[in-house]
Amino acid sequence: MQTLFIGATGTNVGKTHTTLLLIEGFAKRGVKVGVFKPIETGVKEEPQDAALLLEACQKVNSKFKTLTPKEITAYTFGLPAAPFCADTGHIIQKNQIMKKYHQLSSLCDLLLVEGAGGLMVPIMKDFMTIDLVKQFQAEMLLVTPSRLGCINDTLLSMEALRSRNISFDWCVNLHQEKEYFDTVSKPFYDEVFPSWWSVQTNLNTFISSYLL
């Protein structure tokens, strides 16, 4: 069983959108794919991101058909905030997250794990999202935005991943302020990262190379 962690430079960047495309893409190549949303905040009744991921997964993996959205999460909280802040009762435990991780891993060949917010979002006071990637011994796909400021966000996230020796690839989700991307951000990426790619253009190439 392999684990691919889908993270981002921050919130509302496109993790769920990218993960949905990955579910479809891997399944088309015969991979029995599963999904895991360890923590979701801002939940009123049903975790919305987890529901979207599960619906897509159930179409391609029969072992997920009987599960509910909450059953592909370890924790859900009502407050739309970082997990540490949303967890007002301080109930989060790493072993509970790992227990759920192992349960879902047993139902698939590739588990796609979607993080919450950016890499340094606190889960506990001394345990961040990036530490969860390390805990899972996962490879990482870093999704970055196209809005103004994305270069800084991308480089800082790369530095954090390298500091923890986490293997990663990265891509741009051309969504926010994409009409300005070609002039305010793309020139730098072209110069420094000539093989950079976007969710919209090369996700299938990434999937194929991941499976090699």
CA–CA gap between residue 169 and residue 97 (Å, rounded):
24
Q: Is the dihedral of CA 176, 10, 39, 7 positive or negative?
A: positive
pLDDT in tens, 49-95: 999 999 999 999 999 999 999 999 999 999 999 999 999 999 999 99
User: Tokens 């759920």 appear where?
Assistant: 100
Residue 24 clears pLDDT 90, i.e. is over it: yes
Per the CB < 8 A criterion, the answer to whether 64 and 129 are in contact is: no
Residue 170's pLDDT is 98
pLDDT in tens, 112-126: 999 999 999 999 999
CA–CA gap between residue 7 and residue 55 (Å, rounded):
20
pTM higher than the cut 0.95? yes
Catalytic choice (15, 28, 37, 125): 37
Contacts 24+ apart (CB under 8 A), 91-96: 92/39, 92/123, 92/124, 94/124, 94/127, 94/135
CATH number of residue 50's parent domain: 3.40.50.300
CA–CA gap between residue 4 and residue 55 (Å, rounded):
19
Residue 16 clears pLDDT 90, i.e. is over it: yes
**Does the annotation mark 37 as catalytic?**
yes
Q: Is the dihedral of CA 89, 96, 109, 202 positive or negative?
A: positive
Q: Which of 54, 67, 63, 2 is nearest to 23 (CA)?
A: 54
Residue 86's pLDDT is 98
Q: Which domain holds residue 23?
A: 2-210
CA–CA gap between residue 111 and residue 1 (Å, rounded):
7
Residue 123's pLDDT is 98
Residue 118, amino acid: G
Residue 1 clears pLDDT 90, i.e. is over it: no
Tally the domains of the chain: 1
pLDDT in tens, 187-207: 999 999 999 999 999 999 999
Average pLDDT taken over every residue of the chain: 97
